């Protein structure tokens, strides 16, 4: 029954107008508190894992409904923010409203909204107090200076122009959208499970990062409503999955945890954090579609991961 409903929905994605309604919102970054919470979780864990907690240039994949996570990054001290998506969800007025709320949250040193408020958001932290060890009073005074905040706010409206210090590009399908070795940190929240061309995306991230740059990704491996079991999407054949996707710009790439780790290592990333949650599985590997039956055993149980990796400098071989 569930599959029939999903197939009807998939057919609807071919109907002009309905397709836009179905892809009109992502949820999440339409809330300032969500954006604040997500940015600070990435930042707190970067500091904990020995990574740069004052990145000057950041890039985000898949910001969704607003560029709010990036605005939180800018408010907390970043100087340049790039955002790349495949659907133009961001709305300038929404981002302006979120910016104003974010400023208040930072000014009040609001504790990081935790799992009571956002039960589905990962990564979890040990401590949700405002991270004064990173955003100390000297840094806060500097970054919350009125004229600095005004400049960031003014640039929200011009975020699709190169001169702005916010750059929002939709769609992006070419790694030249960003200069090589130009960013300190690339992050994503609930995005890499949706990206169609993962090898190209990891290669692009590697090329954009400065030699000491790092990536910080929260990835959700669950089926996103496409099956009754949380990992039931791995049971569909490729043909059935294609039918269920319909004409959507993106759905799920169905790659499990081990694929991401393998691709990051292939690109030369040193994994400094791989914090995965496991869930019980009513499916065994035999229940999965043939191409998933050979996944490593633990992939069947890993339902989300928070992964941070630092770009390794290539060591030049001398003969």
Ligand X SMILES: C[S@@+](CC[C@H](N)C(=O)[O-])C[C@H]1O[C@@H](n2cnc3c(N)ncnc32)[C@H](O)[C@@H]1O
Q: Which of 18, 57, 38, 20 is nearest to 115 (CA)?
A: 38
Counting residues that bind ligand X (by CB under 6 A) gives 19
List residues bridging with 82 in a β-sheet: 59, 167
Q: Which of 59, 43, 64 is nearest to 306 (CA)?
A: 43
Stretch that binds ligand X, among 91-99, 161-169, 190-198, 208-216 (CB under 6 A): 190-198
Q: How far is the CB of 302 from ligand X (least distance, A)?
A: 18
Stretch that binds ligand X, among 105-113, 178-186, 193-201, 262-270 (CB under 6 A): 193-201
Using rule CB under 6 A, residue 177 touches ligand X = no
CB of 26 or CB of 57, closer to ligand X: 26
Give dist(CA 35, CA 28) in Å, integer. 8
CB of 61 or CB of 75, closer to ligand X: 61
Q: Find the binder of ligand X among 250, 265, 287, 296 (CB under 6 A).
A: 250
CB of 72 or CB of 300, closer to ligand X: 72
Q: Which of 303, 311, 233, 242 is nearest to 271 (CA)?
A: 311
In eight-state DSSP terms, residue 257 is: H
Q: At what angle do helices 146-156 and 92-107 cross, to 10 degrees?
A: 160
Q: Find the binder of ligand X among 13, 28, 77, 302 (CB under 6 A).
A: 28
Question: Two tokens at 236?
Answer: 């569909």
Q: Find the binder of ligand X among 26, 53, 155, 305 (CB under 6 A).
A: 26
Task: Please tell me whether residue 243 adopts helix, strand or coil conformation.
Answer: helix
Stretch that binds ligand X, among 59-67, 73-81, 207-215, 238-246 (CB under 6 A): 59-67
Q: What Rg do the C-alpha atoms of the chain give, in angstroms?
A: 20
Give dist(CA 130, CA 310) in Å, integer. 25
Question: Two tokens at 14?
Answer: 């071919």
Q: Find the binder of ligand X among 39, 84, 128, 208 (CB under 6 A).
A: 84
Using rule CB under 6 A, residue 37 touches ligand X = no
* 200 contacts 86 by C-beta, under 8 angstroms: no
Q: Measured between alpha carbons, how far is residue 108 from residues 14, 112, 115, 132 in Å?
A: 47, 11, 20, 12
Using rule CB under 6 A, residue 189 touches ligand X = yes
Q: Find the binder of ligand X among 6, 10, 13, 29 (CB under 6 A).
A: 29
Q: How far is the CB of 258 from ligand X (least distance, A)?
A: 20
Using rule CB under 6 A, residue 86 touches ligand X = yes
- Residue numbers of the site for ligand X (CB under 6 A)? 26, 28-29, 61-64, 84-87, 89, 189-191, 194-196, 250
């Amino acid at each position: 029954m569930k599959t029939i409903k999903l197939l009807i929905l998939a057919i609807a994605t071919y109907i002009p107008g309905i397709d836009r309604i179905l892809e009109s919102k992502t949820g999440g970054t339409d809330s300032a508190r969500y954006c604040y919470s997500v940015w600070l979780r990435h930042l707190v864990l970067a500091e904990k894992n020995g990574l740069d907690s004052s990145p000057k240039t950041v890039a985000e994949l898949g910001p969704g409904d607003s560029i709010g996570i990036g605005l939180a990054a800018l408010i907390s001290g970043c100087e340049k923010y790039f955002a790349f998506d495949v659907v133009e969800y961001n709305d300038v007025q929404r981002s302006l409203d979120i910016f104003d709320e974010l400023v208040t949250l930072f000014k009040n040193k609001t504790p990081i909204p935790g799992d009571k408020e956002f039960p589905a958001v990962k990564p979890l932290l040990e401590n949700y107090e405002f991270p004064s060890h990173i955003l100390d009073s000297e840094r806060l005074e500097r970054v919350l200076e009125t004229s600095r905040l005004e400049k960031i706010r003014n640039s929200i409206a011009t975020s699709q122009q190169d001169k702005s210090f916010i750059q929002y590009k939709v769609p992006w399908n070419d790694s030249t959208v960003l200069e090589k070795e130009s960013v300190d940190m690339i992050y994503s929240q609930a995005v890499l499970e949706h990206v169609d061309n993962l090898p190209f995306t990891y290669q692009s991230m590697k090329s954009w990062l400065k030699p000491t740059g790092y990536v910080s990704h929260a990835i959700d491996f669950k089926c996103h409503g496409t099956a009754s079991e949380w990992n039931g999407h791995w049971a569909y054949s490729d043909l059935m999955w294609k039918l269920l996707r319909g004409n959507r710009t993106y759905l799920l790439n169905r790659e499990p945890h081990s694929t991401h780790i393998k691709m990051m290592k292939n690109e030369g990333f040193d994994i400094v954090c791989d914090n995965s949650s496991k869930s019980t599985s009513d499916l065994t590997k035999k229940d999965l579609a043939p191409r998933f039956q050979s996944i490593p055993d633990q992939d069947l149980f890993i339902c989300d991961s928070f992964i941070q990796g630092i770009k390794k400098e290539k060591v030049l071989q001398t003969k």
